[in-house]
Structure 1
Amino acid sequence: MPHFFAHLPRLCCYLPVLLGVGLATTGCSRRHFFQPDARVGPGSAQALPPTADSVLATAGRQYNKHSGVYYWFWGRHYRKVWAAPVTAPVLRLATAAPGGLKPGKPGGGFQSISMTLEGRQEREYALRALDKDPSKTLPKVLRPTFLLNAVRDATSAAMPYGALTVPPLAQAAGVPHTRPRLVYVRPDETGLGEMSERFRGKLALLEEKYEEVASATPDLAGVTNFVGGETVLKKVYFHPAYYFDQPAFLRARLLDMLIGDWDRHERQWDWATFPENNGLVRFQPIPKDRDQVYFRFDDGLVPWLASRRFIAPQFHTFREHYGYLPGLVYQAEFIDQRALAQLTRADFQRMATDLQRRLPDSLIERATHRLPHAVFALEGVRIGNYLKARRQALPQAADAYYLELAREPNLGGSAFAERFVVNRYPDSTTVRVFSSTRHVPTTSDSLRFRRTYFTAETHTLTLDGLGGDDIFEVNTIGGGRAIRLQLYGGEGNNQLLPQGSARRLKLYPREVSKLTAASRQQEPYLSRRRHTPVEHK
């Protein structure tokens, strides 16, 4: 869930107003904030019978117990959905999966309540409570204050059942996906180990993870392993033999945009590993944690202010139009720059058009009908209509997305030596990256990257060698105002070999003393600032 007050530095000039509103509408931190048990209706105050198969429950009715004044300040969000009674099957570990489930390791970050469950043949399942507890996002000194109430209350901006609608859309779009199921955890559950107490009496989503067994994932035939986002980044930037499946990542990211899933940073992905006959290794993306689809945040005074583009634009509200697109893709900036680096404007348009064709009205309606009946009655038609409108506008949104990424691209090398060959023209700049053939097991040449950037689209281009003894050959041809070029040598002895004008060209080595003689001769073009190697956010 959003860290509503994680952006206090940018909110400092608004704090007096926010403090006044907060104290007037939320008061001090409430000790008993969450509903004690998700069950509602007849018998909900009694012990759950051992034979009960299903219950009537709410995801979080505490969010819908406020006055109209409170909602005017803090927003109505999805409060009625959180309080809507839905029918959910009772989680039975012995029968929830073939061979039963047993507790694994706890999961989750500062907000989620989640854990891993283990099935037979080493299959793993994720269990995630619908409700969140973001108290750890605040410093301890602030937790007794109204700020904790506000941060907790912001959970109501999420659509708790939105993840249930994603599988049909992802399947049709050609994006790997999980298949979450809604379950209720008994108030006397003991089979979840140390996490039993935290899950008792809650609605949760149960889904099978992608396994390290190819037969368990027929949509990823040939996969040999599954790794997390941080592991993939380390591999890609350590060795040039590893690379992202960029068309597959673009397909997944356009689906993210369609459903308004703004929280897609690098830790929100798993990656399927595919070794190839030429010795290269391809990583195909698998989105996970669909907590933020159909997000609705800016319908109250305070969240409207917080989500302004100059404060926290990533808190992006889902509606029939895409709105401020840089805010929608803000969280994924780091991984987007690196996993979409080779794709052109035409590639973005072709993919958007293909997704339009794959997602007809009938499919969208089938997806929204996966919402529980009471929830569909509240939001199903609206969400479906918004999805249809966003599908129609997807090519325009994809073009804006491309232009946002093309404005200041950052291209990274690897820990091994590379040769960056750059040809700068008044209207464009072409970059080729060659790797040492001893590090790339191919029978062809060592070219591993090629792309032309256009002056009309790109303001600043950054090339980062990261490691090894890198060579930057920069040939500036003709006059005019070429794209600004920033070169980072990183570790190793790096050479800058320029030809032609050196205007709008800078090299930022890690240490100037490590430059070879060829680079030292170009000291008029060098900055003596130290450079820290690129790190993910």
Structure 2
Amino acid sequence: MNLSFKTYRKIFSVSARALLLSGFLLSCATYNVQKGKNLHEIQNSDNKTENDFKIFLVGDAGNADEPQAQHTLNFIKNKLDSADKNSMLLFLGDNIYPLGMPKESDKGYPLAKQKLENQLAITKNFKGKTLVIPGNHDWYHGLEGLKAQEEFVKSYLNDKKAFLPKNSCPIDDVNLTKDIKLIVIDSEWALINWDNHPGINKGCDIKTIADFYAEFKDLITKNQDKRIIVAMHHPAISSGTHAGFTSAKSHLYLFGGKFPLPGIASFVNILRSTSGGSMEDFSNSHYTEFANRIKSIIQDKENVILVSGHDHNLQYHENKNIKQIISGAASKTDPATIVEKTDFSSGGSGFAVLNIRKDLSSDVEYFSTKNNKLEKLVQIAVIKKHEEFINTYPDTLPATVTSTIYSERQAKAGKFYSWLWGNHYRRYYALPIEAKTKNLSDMDPGFSPFREGGGNQSNSLRLRTNDGQEFVMRGIKKSAVRFLNAQAFKKNSFGSELNNTFPERFLLDFYTTNHPFTGFAVNNMIDKLGIFHSNPELYYIPKQKSLGRYNQNYGDELYMIEERFSSDPKTLQSLDNASDILSTADILKNMRKDGKYSVDQDLYIRARIFDMLIGDWDRHEDQWKWAEYKVGDKVIYKPIPRDRDQAFSNYDGAAFKVIMNIPAIRHMKTFKDDIKSVRWLNMEPYPLDLIVLKNADQEDWIVQAKYIQEHLSDNDIDRAFDNLPKEVQDETITDIQRKLKLRKGKLEDYATKYFDVLQEKIPLTGTINKDKFVVTKTGNSVEVKQYQLDKKGEELVFEKKYDDSKTKELWIYGLEDDDIYEVSGEGKSKINIRLIGGYNHDTYNVENGNKVKIYDFKSQKNT
């Protein structure tokens, strides 16, 4: 079909008008000051008190060679000169436009250096601390450029902590005062393609994005009693250009040009705001996921403030309990708008000052430096001071209270529903239970609550005794909303919106697949086996004076109170004088450092076989703590299993017969007379088992299975349930006891079968220091010896032979430093051997390369 030029012009004209109209509908951003009608503005701003802490927020100052940027920096300098030591200057990234810090030999280096010096020069008379964090532009010369900028800043300011996170790692934290914690995140680390940056995590404790989010959550949980400032270049909430909000002018002039291009300019703007083509925009899926994960972790916390740059303007947002400050207008300007009624925005140049008061209330001041004039635009209340707790609760409590976990309505299920979804242990959740009450302060020793727990399901409260020991008060009723936000919808930030929804109601019913009280019996059994454990007790904890401000979310429910395995002296003494208590992540980090660290293999195997006995499939790495013991020049870790919620699970019902065959949840097994598949039951602990049990052989597993059979009698099993509430000691408990006795007799078989599963694919890891792996093929087997290399020579730290009748693959990881791999022997084993090098110069001497593959970095020198 041939169209005339006039027809083309007509079609283009109609399209252009349509694009232009849609562009104007989307173009609500301006350079003007905008305030939401419910903005928490402070009119009388003369509220400075002694010991206030000020944080000067300066973002995107990378064009510090330009006049407007220099005017802004001069205004900031004047404020810094008069500030006291209780203050910090925080540069929020994009410190060198356009490409970060180049090599010294690069022709652009002098200008880049000058831009950075212009910013740092304003600290000359500043009495407080200065901190620089990276932005996306600071990554444009890769790891080398980022580290060069870090070294320059630290040298200029003569402060090793002036640039964070250090060593191009993703996260760091600083105590600004005893009551203020600063968490610094390199948000670009979470967005970029790591394949383009070989060596990105070298020297960092955090190696994966999952570890990063876990570390961030842990820092948030540990510092609930402080004011937390989270500094990251990319904001989690925005109404600026990066979030797709553009000005009317941008739909006429493309990229700030002088000639109007209506239609085309709108098309480009709409494409940018919807395509996700740039990972620096909210429309990009990686950015959206990052922002949502950050928000989901902090959304139920009242003490967290996010501070960012990235958008070249000034913004304040308060949404779903999340407070976001944006100050990115030090050397560039872009329009912005307001979305919520509590928002603020200004598209002019300027900066912000966050004030944290002595009472830990906080407010933010925004300053404009437009037209070389300093003007305070607004002061906004961010967090109010804690309201004083006023006790209205009685001083005396009844000796016991009868209560249920769920209401009768919550536990009610019709015949069809029960047929489809099962009966589970539902009736026990609405069964009235008589429990002792306790006034926390009157217990021996007295308890004082000091922090909320950070679990994904339980509503828990950390308690501290008068002598420093820590306990946990954990609700028998689990929180469906907490789980949904932390796990099911962790890439979103629904928050309290999930209350009273179908997902919450369904999950609360799903929780009834677990018996609410059998956890009290598990520890009685494990006590017979010489494995460390807590000693939980059941109480009804009324709301009371001792709970203080925690009465808002705790009290008037059934709770389990048990020891928390922390490093306080009394706990360490109770654990045979352990030297420390560590998490699984901590011990694995130590094991990567040196061969002197190891796990008590016998105890761990015994604990794992016990898991199979009680049907506890939920034994991932967070379900363990480890007691540390120093034995000569070695360090041994003994396991402390935690959280027995999934023991004796019951997934009955027609629907579950189908659902439980889905591979992702096939490991969630009903507790029966026998274990049909030890492989699936152990799917969650399998990765940890592979790492810590590399020295174990089949006989080790059989010995520990026999140990349990010999030390846990049938009478012990019966007596273990005696401390359950008398109301639940019925035929269900009798049936659980019967199944336990049957399964106990089959433990050797379970142990042998699972050992065979572990032998199929073997991962072996070196350390972050120099290692040598000697692989010898003989007949149908492969022998592996691992040596640790140092100045003293070689030390044999591992030796084992693998037969191809059981083992199909060997994966040998050298990790960091200069490692040596030697493969020899005339054997023709069918085992596939994969040698995986790491950072630095690795050496491969392979004489018999049959079924051997080598993986290493192209960017690293290897031989």
Matched to 2:591, the amino acid is: V
* 1:482 equivalenced with 2:827 (yes/no): no
Matched to 2:465, the amino acid is: G
* 1:110 equivalenced with 2:456 (yes/no): yes
Identify the structure with bigger relative contact order (alpha carbons < 8 Å, sequence gap 6+): 1
Map 1:21-40 to 2 at 5 A: none
- Contact 1:426 1:455 (C-alpha < 8 Å) held by counterparts: no
Report the 3-state secondary structure (helix = DSSP H, G, I; strand = E; otherwise coil) of the residue aligned with 1:507. strand
What is the distance in 2 between the residues matched to 1:293 and 1:256? 8
* 1:397 equivalenced with 2:741 (yes/no): no
1:320 to 648, 660, 673: 673
Matched to 2:562, the amino acid is: E
- Contact 1:243 1:283 (C-alpha < 8 Å) held by counterparts: yes
2:587 to 232, 235, 239: 232
Count how many residue pairs are aligned between Structure 1 and Structure 2: 460
- Contact 2:572 2:580 (C-alpha < 8 Å) held by counterparts: no
Q: 1:359 to 1:472 in 2, by over 3 A?
A: same
2:432 to 75, 79, 85: 85
2:649 to 295, 302, 314: 295
What whole-Å deviation, never above 9, does each CA across 1:12-64 have from its counterpart, x for those lacking one?
xxxxxxxxxxxxxxxxxxxxxxxxxxxxxxxxxxx999330111222234553
Q: Measure how far apart 1:389 and its partner are.
A: 0.7
Matched to 2:460, the amino acid is: S
State the TM-score, normalizing by the size of structure 2: 0.51
Q: Measure how far apart 1:385 and its partner are.
A: 0.5
Q: 1:51 to 1:215 in 2, by over 3 A?
A: closer
What whole-Å deviation, never above 9, does each CA across 1:269-310 have from its counterpart, x for those lacking one?
111111121x2211111111122111112x123333222162
What is the distance in 2 between the residues matched to 1:273 and 1:385? 37
Q: 1:375 to 1:217 in 2, by over 3 A?
A: farther
Q: CA RMSD in A?
A: 2.2
Report the 3-state secondary structure (helix = DSSP H, G, I; strand = E; otherwise coil) of the residue aligned with 1:274. strand
Report the 3-state secondary structure (helix = DSSP H, G, I; strand = E; otherwise coil) of the residue aligned with 2:405. coil
* 1:157 equivalenced with 2:504 (yes/no): no
Map 1:89-238 to 2 at 5 A: 89-98=436-445, 100-135=446-481, 136=485, 137-139=487-489, 143=498, 146-186=502-542, 188-212=543-567, 216=571, 220-238=575-593
* 1:462 equivalenced with 2:808 (yes/no): no
- Contact 2:836 2:855 (C-alpha < 8 Å) held by counterparts: yes
What whole-Å deviation, never above 9, does each CA across 1:116-143 have from its counterpart, x for those lacking one?
1000221000111111112224435694
What whole-Å deviation, never above 9, does each CA across 1:476-516 have from its counterpart, x for those lacking one?
4233x42111121122211111122x12211111x124242
What is the distance in 1 between the residues matched to 2:722 and 2:636? 36
- Contact 2:397 2:439 (C-alpha < 8 Å) held by counterparts: no
Q: 1:64 to 1:127 in 2, by over 3 A?
A: same
Matched to 2:746, the amino acid is: A
Report the 3-state secondary structure (helix = DSSP H, G, I; strand = E; otherwise coil) of the residue aligned with 2:787. strand
Name 2:795's counterpart in structure 1: 446
Map 1:272-287 to 2 at 5 A: 272-277=627-632, 279-287=633-641
What whole-Å deviation, never above 9, does each CA across 1:404-441 have from its counterpart, x for those lacking one?
111112111111111111112342211111112459xx
- Contact 1:227 1:273 (C-alpha < 8 Å) held by counterparts: yes
Name 1:37's counterpart in structure 2: none
* 1:330 equivalenced with 2:683 (yes/no): yes
What is the distance in 2 between the residues matched to 1:438 and 1:175? 39
Report the 3-state secondary structure (helix = DSSP H, G, I; strand = E; otherwise coil) of the residue aligned with 2:729. helix
Matched to 1:203, the amino acid is: L
2:714 to 353, 356, 361: 361
Matched to 2:834, the amino acid is: Q
Name 1:69's counterpart in structure 2: 416
- Contact 1:469 1:494 (C-alpha < 8 Å) held by counterparts: yes
1:259 to 599, 603, 614: 614
Report the 3-state secondary structure (helix = DSSP H, G, I; strand = E; otherwise coil) of the residue aligned with 2:550. helix
What is the distance in 2 between the residues matched to 1:194 and 1:49? 16
Structure 1 segments (4+ residues) deviating >6 Å: none
Q: Measure how far apart 1:445 and its partner are.
A: 6.0
Report the 3-state secondary structure (helix = DSSP H, G, I; strand = E; otherwise coil) of the residue aligned with 1:127. strand
Matched to 2:510, the amino acid is: A
Name 1:44's counterpart in structure 2: none
- Contact 1:58 1:84 (C-alpha < 8 Å) held by counterparts: yes
What is the distance in 1 between the residues matched to 2:798 and 2:536? 38
State the TM-score, normalizing by the size of structure 1: 0.81
What whole-Å deviation, never above 9, does each CA across 1:88-118 have from its counterpart, x for those lacking one?
11122123332x0101221133321112100
Map 1:404-423 to 2 at 5 A: 404-423=757-776
What is the distance in 2 between the residues matched to 1:505 and 1:59? 58
Name 2:86's counterpart in structure 1: none
Q: Measure how far apart 1:198 and its partner are.
A: 2.5
- Contact 2:463 2:470 (C-alpha < 8 Å) held by counterparts: yes
1:504 to 847, 851, 856: 851
What is the distance in 1 between the residues matched to 2:527 and 2:573? 12
1:350 to 703, 708, 722: 703
What is the distance in 2 between the residues matched to 1:199 and 1:460? 51
The answer for unaligned runs of 5 or more in structure 1 is: 1-46, 518-537
Q: 1:417 to 1:119 in 2, by over 3 A?
A: same
Q: Measure how far apart 1:324 and its partner are.
A: 2.1
What is the distance in 1 between the residues matched to 2:701 and 2:788? 27
What is the distance in 1 between the residues matched to 2:400 and 2:778? 67
What is the distance in 2 between the residues matched to 1:273 and 1:291? 26
What whole-Å deviation, never above 9, does each CA across 1:237-266 have from its counterpart, x for those lacking one?
123222211111111111111111111111
Q: 1:515 to 1:256 in 2, by over 3 A?
A: same
- Contact 1:426 1:482 (C-alpha < 8 Å) held by counterparts: no
Q: 1:419 to 1:82 in 2, by over 3 A?
A: same
Report the 3-state secondary structure (helix = DSSP H, G, I; strand = E; otherwise coil) of the residue aligned with 2:458. coil
Q: Measure how far apart 1:353 and its partner are.
A: 0.9
- Contact 2:394 2:544 (C-alpha < 8 Å) held by counterparts: no
- Contact 1:81 1:378 (C-alpha < 8 Å) held by counterparts: no
Matched to 1:152, the amino acid is: L
What whole-Å deviation, never above 9, does each CA across 1:189-223 have from its counterpart, x for those lacking one?
34334433322221111012235356646663231
Matched residues, percent identical? 28
Q: 1:123 to 1:364 in 2, by over 3 A?
A: same
Name 2:138's counterpart in structure 1: none
Q: Measure how far apart 1:232 and its partner are.
A: 1.5
- Contact 1:214 1:220 (C-alpha < 8 Å) held by counterparts: no
Q: Measure how far apart 1:82 and its partner are.
A: 1.7
Q: Which has the larger radius of gyration?
A: 2
Q: 1:417 to 1:244 in 2, by over 3 A?
A: same
Matched to 1:290, the amino acid is: R
What is the distance in 1 between the residues matched to 2:717 and 2:665? 30
- Contact 2:441 2:546 (C-alpha < 8 Å) held by counterparts: no
Report the 3-state secondary structure (helix = DSSP H, G, I; strand = E; otherwise coil) of the residue aligned with 1:264. coil
Matched to 1:516, the amino acid is: N
What is the distance in 2 between the residues matched to 1:343 and 1:354? 16
What is the distance in 2 between the residues matched to 1:400 and 1:218? 38
